[in-house]
Amino acid sequence: MTMKIASIHAICGQITRCLLPVTAMVGLTLATSGAQAKSYSIGMVTPPGHIWSQISDRMSNNLKLASHDQIRLRSSRMAKMQGEAETIKKLQSGKLHLAILTAGSLSSLEPAFSGWYLPYLFKDVQAVAKATAGTDAQQMLQRLESSQLVGMGYALAGMRQVVSTRPVANVSDFNGMKIRSFPDQVFKDWWQTLNAVPMQLALLDTQPALLNKQLDAVDVDLDMLVGLKIYRDAPYLTVTNHMAFPGVVVASKVWWDGLTVDRQQMVMTAFKEAEAWGFQRQEEAEINNLALLKREGVKVANLGAEQMSAAISTVIKRYTAANPVIKHFYEQYHPR
């Protein structure tokens, strides 16, 4: 269940060709109407340089091209400072136009989003990218409308790995390990099932916590590991690929409904090209980041799913039994 780079190139090419008539149409409209330049705000919970921020920049450039520089995206870092719950409220009220949010932050509105975090559901980012086009994934987006949000699509980060201050040779090494975990119930359940101690800390606080032994490890994707250089204080990388970590690109329904059909089409087309580009970019980043870490002297080991089968089964049963939509989603993609 893999997505080849060539196929994504084809998608990007098709969407880019779609941009051309939209560019001409919007350019003519703006030229004849003398419209003032528009600035739309997009809430970002990731730092500059992160793949989600790159996708936002790509979408912004697409909009500038399509509108003859009459429309731009303005990144709002307040989303990161105020948190995702507050960002969702601003989207619902129309005070914020767009945002890229973690799937987990939307699970309170649409519980099925938790299904993305089921352990070992996906082999790699290519498999995750393919799943985003599936019926279940698209229906999750559609159901956000009842919460005054428009689900536009997805933005991937890398698969989740473990970086630690000491080697991890087998699953028993997680016993009692204090690990910085993403603040989501599925993550918490996963690590507790492995007898680790999940800790909730801001990512920027992990390095001092590793130094003073408040933490033993960090559950992280390679993008963030490289970007924040966490490996300098935790030089052991255990490649587990234990979870996917998609973001969801959402728009304020209040704002969206106020746009003309032509403007909606332009915004969506600009995003869809950026979405496909982001999938390809992340596939390449997984390879490049791992190579960089090895060059930096990080000690890399692999830990397969077979050693964690009991924990995997426990967590999956808990969530599939509780939600039939998650169960259906799991059954479409779980490895056989």
Mean pLDDT to the nearest integer, 254-267: 97
d(CA 117, CA 106): 12
> In CATH, what number does 5-150+245-287 get?
3.40.190.170
| DSSP 8-state assignment for residue 86 | H
Predicted confidence (pLDDT) at residue 15 exceeds the cutoff of 80? no
Predicted confidence (pLDDT) at residue 310 exceeds the cutoff of 70? yes
- With CA atoms as reference, report the closest residue to 126 among 241, 45, 290, 237: 241
Q: How much is the pTM?
A: 0.86
Domain boundaries, the chain: 5-150+245-287, 160-243+290-333
At 35-80, the pLDDT tens digits run 567 899 999 988 888 999 999 999 999 999 999 999 989 998 777 7
Domains 5-150+245-287 and 160-243+290-333 share a fold: yes
Buried b (16+ CB within 10 A) or exposed e, 110-143: bbbbbbbbbbbbbbbbbbbbbbbeeebbeebbeb
331 exposed, middle or buried (CB, 10 Å; 0-12, 13-18, 19+)? exposed
At 175-205, the pLDDT tens digits run 999 999 999 999 999 999 999 999 999 888 9
At 100-133, the pLDDT tens digits run 999 999 999 999 999 999 999 999 999 999 999 9
d(CA 131, CA 203): 28
d(CA 309, CA 200): 25
What string of DSSP letters covers 20-78? HHHHHHHHHHHHHHTPPPEEEEEEE-S-TTSHHHHHHHHHHHHHHHHTTSSEEEEEETH
Q: Which helix (H) or strand (E) holds 163?
A: strand 160-164
At 213-245, the pLDDT tens digits run 999 999 999 999 999 999 999 999 999 999 999
Architecture of domain 160-243+290-333: 3-Layer(aba) Sandwich (3.40)
148 within 8 A of 253, measured Cβ to Cβ: yes
Predicted confidence (pLDDT) at residue 92 exceeds the cutoff of 80? yes
48 or 261: which leads in pLDDT: 261
